[in-house]
Structure 1
Amino acid sequence: MRGAPLPKIATSEHSGIPTGGADPRRSPLRGKWVFAGFLVLALLLLTTEHRAHLLGVLPWLLLLACPLMHLVMHGGHGHHHGHGSSASKDTTGDEN
């Protein structure tokens, strides 16, 4: 009633982790290059096909940037608790 022997799985020489038969030193680098190529192609197609939409939104983005820069540069109004603290006001010399 014994079944057929299980197929042998390719494993790494040192760790015993299955490698799937691919060279472990080459496959991650190749995958990164394929992914980078896909991203470049996708960005190229998006910019050529939707250039009119992107340029039409540009003035609105400029108008939106003004209040956002105001909030960031001023840090929001009304949060100036550090200015004029009580330690600087008590330096008049009247300690008696």
Structure 2
Amino acid sequence: MTHQPDPSHVNQSQSEHAHRPPSFWRSRAGIYLIVALAVGGLLLGYEHRVHILSSGLLIWLPLLLCVGMHFFMHGGHGGHGGHGKGDDQ
């Protein structure tokens, strides 16, 4: 027994989605901001490379990258999908 969505509800949600303004990060100003922050970060890293490489903290970078990738790729807690959902209904 499957539940079919109400067609009027589907059309309403599609029309609401069509009128939503675009995200800031996909706008021209958002893209410019991302590029400016990336270039600024690269220049800052280049100018301070001696301090960064000789600090001894560089060894922790792979661990931080793994944690960061896990967090952003799964979208935080609850993003693993399928956990706790029983298929034996």
Same fold per superposition (TM over 0.5): no
> Structure 2 length as normaliser, TM-score?
0.33
Normalising by structure 1, what TM-score?
0.31
Q: Hey, which of these two has a bigger chunk of helix by percent?
A: 2
Bigger Rg, structure 1 or 2:
1
- Structure with the bigger RCO (C-alpha within 8 Å, sep 6+) is 1
